[in-house]
Amino acid sequence: MAKLKQYKNPPLIEVACEFRFEPDPEQDVHSLLLAKFWKGKIKALFPRAIQPAGPPEPRDRFASEDGKTFVQVGENLLVVNQLPPYYGWSRFEPVVVDCFREYTQHWKPLRVKQAAVHYINKLDIPQREFNLDKYLNLLVLPEFPKKPAMNISASYTVDGARENDVVVTTLRQHPSANPEGTSFLLTWDYFANEGLPADTDEIQFWLREAHAFQKELFLSTLTDECRRLFD
């Protein structure tokens, strides 16, 4: 497996792990379980309570001291987010696993209906006119005579590491802070659409598979010229 280099200016602007659950109908009401969930280990990781988010999907949110990592809990929902600086998967994964373990201990869901790992990357290319295939092994645009393509958007889906897992890759042109440059948002969304058991060990194994698969997509999608932008 290819090794992922630690870049000086990494393109990642957010990574999130999301779990949607099939609930146990005999469990306590959400507000009681939420208070129990936040005590102990979760409060040590996320000491700051943030104003609940919503609608359309109300969520209680708790953040780390620096506000860069946070956990969101909604009705049959758990999301763990990491903003820059991203210290690598080896530090993020244990936080996700701890949150999952605590959630399932209190809510005791019957199963995970859907699990997802989301990566959002921002590519800043210091040019207004260029051949996109110089930076991305994604798509080749026709050469319009003296007219560069604008508002570029593309998406595709591939099978994931496991049967019934899928990865949705999306490229979308984004306003650039550099008037002479061009920016893109490149996202990878890895889904386990057929569900998973609500078992912490099984979820940790699935997370590692999903991460490894997306890492290979990352390395194969970006050209050497593109990766030089991050150094």
Angstrom distance (rounded) from CA 6 to CA 148: 33
Burial profile 196-229: b = 16 or more Cβ within 10 angstroms, e = fewer: bebebeebbebbebbbebbbebbeebbeeebeee
Looking at the domain assignment, is residue 2 inside a domain? no
Looking at the domain assignment, is residue 4 inside a domain? no
Q: Is the pLDDT of residue 143 over 70?
A: no
In the chain, how many domains are there? 1
CA gyration radius for the chain?
20
Looking at the domain assignment, is residue 174 inside a domain? yes
The model carries a pTM of 0.90
Looking at the domain assignment, is residue 7 inside a domain? no
Angstrom distance (rounded) from CA 212 to CA 162: 12
Looking at the domain assignment, is residue 1 inside a domain? no
Looking at the domain assignment, is residue 184 inside a domain? yes
Q: Whose structure tokens read 């051949």?
A: 131
Looking at the domain assignment, is residue 3 inside a domain? no
The pLDDT tens digits for 174-216 are 888 888 888 999 999 999 999 899 999 999 999 999 999 999 9
Q: Would you place residue 140 in the very low, low, confident or very high pLDDT band (cuts 50, 70, 90)?
A: low
Domain encompassing residue 46: 12-228
The pLDDT tens digits for 16-72 are 999 999 998 887 777 888 989 998 889 999 999 987 776 677 899 999 999 999 999
